[in-house]
Copies of this chain bind each other. A is one copy, B any other.
Amino acid sequence: MASLKGKDILHGNQFSKKDVEAIMKVASAFEKELKKKGSFSLLKGKLLATLFFEPSTRTRLSFEAAMQRLGGGVISMGSVESSSVAKGETLVDTTRTVSQYADVIVLRHPRTWSAREAADATPVPVINAGDGAGQHPTQALLDVYTISKELGTLKNLTVSLVGDLKHGRTVHALVEVLSLFRAKLYFVSPGLLRMPEEITANLKEKGIKIIETEDMMEAANASDLVYMTRVQKERFADLSEYERVKGSLIIDGGFLKSLKKKITILHPFPRVDEIHPDVDTYPGAAYFRQIRNGVFIRMALLAMIFGKR
Protein backbone atom coordinates (compact mmCIF):
# COMPACT_ATOMS: atom_id res chain seq x y z
CA MET A 1 0.00 0.00 0.00
CA ALA A 2 0.96 3.63 -0.25
CA SER A 3 2.46 4.61 3.10
CA LEU A 4 0.28 6.74 5.38
CA LYS A 5 3.35 8.39 6.92
CA GLY A 6 2.78 12.13 7.19
CA LYS A 7 -0.51 11.87 5.29
CA ASP A 8 -3.86 13.55 5.92
CA ILE A 9 -6.97 11.36 6.36
CA LEU A 10 -9.69 13.30 4.61
CA HIS A 11 -12.05 11.21 2.51
CA GLY A 12 -13.35 7.65 2.26
CA ASN A 13 -12.23 7.47 -1.36
CA GLN A 14 -8.56 8.02 -0.62
CA PHE A 15 -8.06 4.36 0.34
CA SER A 16 -7.56 1.46 -2.04
CA LYS A 17 -8.79 -2.01 -1.12
CA LYS A 18 -5.22 -2.87 -0.16
CA ASP A 19 -4.99 0.21 2.07
CA VAL A 20 -8.13 -0.76 3.94
CA GLU A 21 -6.91 -4.32 4.39
CA ALA A 22 -3.53 -3.10 5.64
CA ILE A 23 -5.12 -0.70 8.14
CA MET A 24 -7.44 -3.42 9.43
CA LYS A 25 -4.51 -5.77 9.85
CA VAL A 26 -2.64 -3.22 11.97
CA ALA A 27 -5.81 -2.53 14.00
CA SER A 28 -6.26 -6.23 14.63
CA ALA A 29 -2.67 -6.58 15.80
CA PHE A 30 -3.07 -3.64 18.21
CA GLU A 31 -6.30 -5.13 19.53
CA LYS A 32 -4.55 -8.38 20.40
CA GLU A 33 -1.39 -6.78 21.78
CA LEU A 34 -3.32 -4.29 23.91
CA LYS A 35 -5.05 -7.15 25.73
CA LYS A 36 -1.66 -8.66 26.52
CA LYS A 37 0.55 -5.63 27.11
CA GLY A 38 -1.93 -3.06 28.44
CA SER A 39 -0.13 -0.12 26.82
CA PHE A 40 2.45 1.03 24.31
CA SER A 41 5.07 3.75 24.18
CA LEU A 42 5.20 3.91 20.38
CA LEU A 43 4.13 7.56 20.23
CA LYS A 44 5.85 8.77 23.39
CA GLY A 45 6.57 12.49 23.11
CA LYS A 46 4.05 13.02 20.30
CA LEU A 47 1.05 15.31 20.75
CA LEU A 48 -2.38 15.02 19.16
CA ALA A 49 -4.73 18.04 19.13
CA THR A 50 -8.50 17.66 18.96
CA LEU A 51 -10.37 20.58 17.38
CA PHE A 52 -14.10 19.91 17.57
CA PHE A 53 -16.34 22.68 16.28
CA GLU A 54 -19.43 20.50 16.84
CA PRO A 55 -20.58 18.48 19.85
CA SER A 56 -19.02 15.01 20.12
CA THR A 57 -18.29 12.48 22.82
CA ARG A 58 -17.48 9.35 20.91
CA THR A 59 -15.13 10.45 18.18
CA ARG A 60 -13.10 12.85 20.29
CA LEU A 61 -12.71 10.49 23.25
CA SER A 62 -11.97 7.60 20.91
CA PHE A 63 -9.05 9.48 19.34
CA GLU A 64 -7.83 10.73 22.71
CA ALA A 65 -7.95 7.18 24.10
CA ALA A 66 -6.19 5.78 21.02
CA MET A 67 -3.40 8.35 21.28
CA GLN A 68 -2.87 7.72 24.97
CA ARG A 69 -2.98 3.92 24.54
CA LEU A 70 -0.03 4.43 22.19
CA GLY A 71 1.85 6.49 24.78
CA GLY A 72 1.21 9.89 23.18
CA GLY A 73 -0.25 13.04 24.71
CA VAL A 74 -3.33 15.11 23.92
CA ILE A 75 -4.26 18.79 23.84
CA SER A 76 -7.85 19.76 23.20
CA MET A 77 -9.45 23.01 22.08
CA GLY A 78 -12.48 22.45 24.31
CA SER A 79 -15.77 24.08 23.43
CA VAL A 80 -15.92 26.68 20.70
CA GLU A 81 -17.21 29.21 23.23
CA SER A 82 -14.08 28.95 25.37
CA SER A 83 -11.67 29.30 22.44
CA SER A 84 -10.39 32.07 20.22
CA VAL A 85 -12.94 31.03 17.62
CA ALA A 86 -15.29 33.10 19.78
CA LYS A 87 -13.13 36.10 18.82
CA GLY A 88 -13.81 35.52 15.11
CA GLU A 89 -10.72 33.57 14.11
CA THR A 90 -10.88 31.70 10.79
CA LEU A 91 -10.59 27.91 10.61
CA VAL A 92 -7.32 28.18 8.71
CA ASP A 93 -5.75 30.45 11.33
CA THR A 94 -6.92 28.21 14.19
CA THR A 95 -5.59 25.07 12.51
CA ARG A 96 -2.27 26.63 11.54
CA THR A 97 -1.89 27.89 15.09
CA VAL A 98 -2.56 24.49 16.62
CA SER A 99 -0.15 22.89 14.14
CA GLN A 100 2.61 24.87 15.90
CA TYR A 101 1.84 22.93 19.10
CA ALA A 102 0.79 19.44 18.01
CA ASP A 103 2.12 16.72 15.70
CA VAL A 104 -1.27 15.69 14.33
CA ILE A 105 -4.69 17.39 14.31
CA VAL A 106 -8.13 15.77 14.52
CA LEU A 107 -10.80 18.14 13.20
CA ARG A 108 -14.59 18.13 13.27
CA HIS A 109 -16.28 21.09 11.62
CA PRO A 110 -19.83 21.77 10.36
CA ARG A 111 -18.70 22.85 6.85
CA THR A 112 -18.22 20.35 4.02
CA TRP A 113 -14.62 20.36 2.67
CA SER A 114 -13.41 22.20 5.79
CA ALA A 115 -11.00 19.38 6.64
CA ARG A 116 -9.33 19.64 3.24
CA GLU A 117 -9.11 23.41 3.58
CA ALA A 118 -7.47 23.02 6.98
CA ALA A 119 -5.13 20.29 5.75
CA ASP A 120 -3.95 22.45 2.84
CA ALA A 121 -3.04 25.24 5.24
CA THR A 122 -1.11 23.24 7.84
CA PRO A 123 2.24 21.46 7.87
CA VAL A 124 1.11 18.57 10.13
CA PRO A 125 -1.31 15.75 9.18
CA VAL A 126 -5.00 16.54 9.60
CA ILE A 127 -7.57 13.81 10.26
CA ASN A 128 -11.15 14.58 9.21
CA ALA A 129 -13.44 13.56 12.07
CA GLY A 130 -16.56 14.76 10.26
CA ASP A 131 -17.02 17.77 7.97
CA GLY A 132 -20.69 18.73 7.80
CA ALA A 133 -22.62 16.51 5.40
CA GLY A 134 -19.29 15.58 3.81
CA GLN A 135 -17.14 12.72 5.06
CA HIS A 136 -16.10 10.85 8.20
CA PRO A 137 -13.45 8.44 6.91
CA THR A 138 -12.21 6.99 10.22
CA GLN A 139 -15.80 6.04 11.05
CA ALA A 140 -16.03 4.24 7.70
CA LEU A 141 -12.84 2.32 8.47
CA LEU A 142 -14.01 1.26 11.92
CA ASP A 143 -17.33 0.25 10.38
CA VAL A 144 -15.76 -2.08 7.82
CA TYR A 145 -13.39 -3.40 10.48
CA THR A 146 -16.43 -4.25 12.59
CA ILE A 147 -18.24 -5.82 9.63
CA SER A 148 -15.19 -7.90 8.85
CA LYS A 149 -14.90 -9.09 12.46
CA GLU A 150 -18.62 -9.75 12.95
CA LEU A 151 -19.21 -11.53 9.64
CA GLY A 152 -15.79 -13.05 9.18
CA THR A 153 -15.42 -11.58 5.68
CA LEU A 154 -16.03 -8.52 3.52
CA LYS A 155 -16.69 -10.53 0.38
CA ASN A 156 -20.05 -10.89 -1.32
CA LEU A 157 -21.95 -9.06 1.41
CA THR A 158 -25.36 -7.43 1.16
CA VAL A 159 -25.64 -4.36 3.37
CA SER A 160 -28.67 -2.19 4.16
CA LEU A 161 -28.03 1.44 4.99
CA VAL A 162 -31.01 2.93 6.80
CA GLY A 163 -32.18 6.41 7.78
CA ASP A 164 -30.98 9.84 6.71
CA LEU A 165 -28.76 8.97 3.75
CA LYS A 166 -28.83 12.50 2.42
CA HIS A 167 -27.03 14.30 5.24
CA GLY A 168 -25.27 11.33 6.84
CA ARG A 169 -21.52 11.81 6.35
CA THR A 170 -20.98 8.46 8.03
CA VAL A 171 -22.80 6.56 5.29
CA HIS A 172 -21.27 8.74 2.58
CA ALA A 173 -17.81 7.63 3.68
CA LEU A 174 -18.89 4.05 4.36
CA VAL A 175 -20.28 3.34 0.88
CA GLU A 176 -16.99 4.51 -0.63
CA VAL A 177 -15.14 1.89 1.34
CA LEU A 178 -17.78 -0.84 0.95
CA SER A 179 -17.71 -0.36 -2.81
CA LEU A 180 -14.07 -1.52 -2.79
CA PHE A 181 -15.30 -4.89 -1.58
CA ARG A 182 -18.16 -5.09 -4.14
CA ALA A 183 -20.93 -5.17 -1.53
CA LYS A 184 -24.53 -5.12 -2.76
CA LEU A 185 -26.28 -2.15 -1.15
CA TYR A 186 -29.84 -1.43 -0.02
CA PHE A 187 -30.51 2.26 0.56
CA VAL A 188 -33.50 2.51 2.91
CA SER A 189 -34.72 6.04 3.46
CA PRO A 190 -37.73 8.30 3.05
CA GLY A 191 -37.76 10.05 -0.31
CA LEU A 192 -36.75 13.33 1.29
CA LEU A 193 -33.58 11.84 2.73
CA ARG A 194 -32.34 9.71 -0.20
CA MET A 195 -28.66 9.20 -0.86
CA PRO A 196 -27.36 12.13 -2.95
CA GLU A 197 -27.65 11.40 -6.69
CA GLU A 198 -23.95 11.96 -7.41
CA ILE A 199 -22.95 9.31 -4.85
CA THR A 200 -25.46 6.76 -6.18
CA ALA A 201 -24.46 7.45 -9.78
CA ASN A 202 -20.80 7.14 -8.93
CA LEU A 203 -21.35 3.78 -7.22
CA LYS A 204 -23.40 2.43 -10.13
CA GLU A 205 -20.67 3.48 -12.51
CA LYS A 206 -18.28 1.33 -10.49
CA GLY A 207 -20.69 -1.55 -11.03
CA ILE A 208 -22.09 -1.64 -7.50
CA LYS A 209 -25.63 -3.08 -7.31
CA ILE A 210 -27.96 -0.68 -5.52
CA ILE A 211 -31.60 -1.11 -4.48
CA GLU A 212 -33.41 1.94 -3.17
CA THR A 213 -36.50 1.29 -1.03
CA GLU A 214 -38.55 2.58 1.90
CA ASP A 215 -39.24 -0.96 3.18
CA MET A 216 -36.69 -1.78 5.88
CA MET A 217 -38.06 -5.30 6.52
CA GLU A 218 -37.63 -6.31 2.89
CA ALA A 219 -34.11 -4.90 2.85
CA ALA A 220 -33.12 -6.51 6.16
CA ASN A 221 -34.38 -9.91 5.06
CA ALA A 222 -32.14 -9.68 2.02
CA SER A 223 -29.09 -8.40 3.95
CA ASP A 224 -26.26 -9.73 6.08
CA LEU A 225 -26.06 -6.47 7.93
CA VAL A 226 -28.22 -3.43 8.67
CA TYR A 227 -26.50 -0.11 9.27
CA MET A 228 -28.91 2.20 11.10
CA THR A 229 -28.63 6.00 11.35
CA ARG A 230 -30.62 8.73 13.01
CA VAL A 231 -33.40 10.64 11.26
CA GLN A 232 -33.39 14.18 12.57
CA LYS A 233 -36.63 16.08 13.15
CA GLU A 234 -35.07 19.32 11.93
CA ARG A 235 -34.83 17.97 8.39
CA PHE A 236 -38.63 17.93 7.94
CA ALA A 237 -40.85 20.88 7.09
CA ASP A 238 -43.93 18.68 7.64
CA LEU A 239 -43.84 17.15 11.15
CA SER A 240 -46.54 14.55 10.44
CA GLU A 241 -44.33 13.29 7.63
CA TYR A 242 -41.48 13.06 10.16
CA GLU A 243 -43.57 10.99 12.57
CA ARG A 244 -44.64 8.59 9.81
CA VAL A 245 -41.12 8.14 8.56
CA LYS A 246 -39.53 7.78 11.96
CA GLY A 247 -41.97 5.06 13.02
CA SER A 248 -41.13 2.97 9.97
CA LEU A 249 -37.36 3.09 10.50
CA ILE A 250 -37.14 1.61 13.99
CA ILE A 251 -35.60 -1.69 15.08
CA ASP A 252 -37.24 -3.11 18.19
CA GLY A 253 -38.16 -6.50 19.62
CA GLY A 254 -41.16 -6.80 17.30
CA PHE A 255 -39.06 -6.11 14.22
CA LEU A 256 -36.51 -8.72 15.23
CA LYS A 257 -39.29 -11.32 15.73
CA SER A 258 -40.69 -10.64 12.26
CA LEU A 259 -37.27 -11.04 10.65
CA LYS A 260 -36.75 -14.26 8.73
CA LYS A 261 -33.02 -14.49 9.47
CA LYS A 262 -30.26 -13.47 11.85
CA ILE A 263 -28.69 -10.15 11.01
CA THR A 264 -25.88 -7.96 12.30
CA ILE A 265 -26.86 -4.44 13.39
CA LEU A 266 -24.51 -1.45 13.43
CA HIS A 267 -25.13 2.21 14.27
CA PRO A 268 -22.66 5.10 14.39
CA PHE A 269 -24.33 6.40 17.57
CA PRO A 270 -25.68 8.32 19.37
CA ARG A 271 -29.03 6.66 18.80
CA VAL A 272 -32.27 8.25 19.89
CA ASP A 273 -35.31 6.11 19.11
CA GLU A 274 -34.24 4.15 16.05
CA ILE A 275 -32.90 1.15 17.98
CA HIS A 276 -34.85 0.15 21.08
CA PRO A 277 -32.70 -0.73 24.14
CA ASP A 278 -34.36 -4.19 24.13
CA VAL A 279 -32.33 -4.94 21.01
CA ASP A 280 -29.05 -4.51 22.95
CA THR A 281 -29.05 -8.16 24.09
CA TYR A 282 -29.67 -9.52 20.55
CA PRO A 283 -26.50 -11.39 19.54
CA GLY A 284 -26.22 -9.46 16.27
CA ALA A 285 -26.40 -6.08 18.02
CA ALA A 286 -22.77 -5.12 17.44
CA TYR A 287 -22.90 -1.37 18.01
CA PHE A 288 -21.03 -1.32 21.33
CA ARG A 289 -18.32 -3.60 19.92
CA GLN A 290 -18.28 -1.22 16.95
CA ILE A 291 -17.51 1.68 19.32
CA ARG A 292 -14.63 -0.25 20.86
CA ASN A 293 -13.25 -1.10 17.42
CA GLY A 294 -12.93 2.63 16.80
CA VAL A 295 -10.05 2.78 19.26
CA PHE A 296 -8.09 0.06 17.44
CA ILE A 297 -8.65 1.59 14.00
CA ARG A 298 -7.55 4.98 15.27
CA MET A 299 -4.50 3.47 16.97
CA ALA A 300 -3.62 1.91 13.62
CA LEU A 301 -4.07 5.17 11.70
CA LEU A 302 -2.06 7.20 14.22
CA ALA A 303 0.78 4.69 14.33
CA MET A 304 0.88 4.59 10.52
CA ILE A 305 0.76 8.39 10.16
CA PHE A 306 3.82 8.59 12.42
CA GLY A 307 5.54 5.88 10.41
CA LYS A 308 5.53 3.46 13.33
CA ARG A 309 3.69 0.63 11.52
- A binding-site residues for B, Cβ under 8 Å: 37-40, 44-47, 49, 52, 55-58, 61-62, 64-65, 68-69, 73, 75-90, 92-94, 96-98, 100-102, 230, 269-272, 277, 288, 291-292, 294-295
Contact = CB atoms under 8 A, between A and B. Distances in A.
18 contacts: A37-B45, A38-B45, A39-B46, A49-B61, A52-B82, A58-B84, A61-B102, A64-B75, A76-B78, A78-B78, A79-B82, A89-B270, A92-B277, A93-B270, A100-B291, A100-B292, A100-B294, A100-B295
Given A57-B89, A61-B98, A64-B75, 8 more contacts: A40-B45, A55-B81, A57-B84, A65-B101, A76-B78, A89-B270, A97-B270, A101-B291
A103 to B, nearest CB: 9
Nearest to A38: B45
A140 to B, nearest CB: 18
A77 B57 contact: yes
Contacts of A68: 47, 73, 75
User: Oligomeric state, in number of copies?
Assistant: 3
A87 B47 contact: no
A52 B79 CA distance: 13
Contact of A97 (B83, B97, B291): B291
Contacts of A288: 96-97, 100
A77 B68 CA distance: 15
Contacts of A73: 68
Contacts of A98: 57, 61
A276 B94 CA distance: 15
A96 B78 CA distance: 22
Given A82-B52, A89-B270, A272-B88, A58 B295 contact: no
B39 A44 contact: yes
A84 B295 contact: no
B101 A83 contact: no
Nearest to A96: B288
Contacts of A69: 45, 47
Contact of A78 (B79, B97, B291): B79
Contacts of A78: 76, 78-79, 82
B47 A97 contact: no
Nearest to A54: B82
Contacts of A270: 84, 87-89, 93-94, 97
A153 B57 CA distance: 44
Give the interface centre of A69, A82, A86, A94 by most chain B CB atoms within 10 Å: A82
A56 B82 CA distance: 6
B39 A45 contact: yes
A270 B88 CA distance: 8
Contacts of A85: 57
A57 B97 contact: yes
A94 B129 CA distance: 19
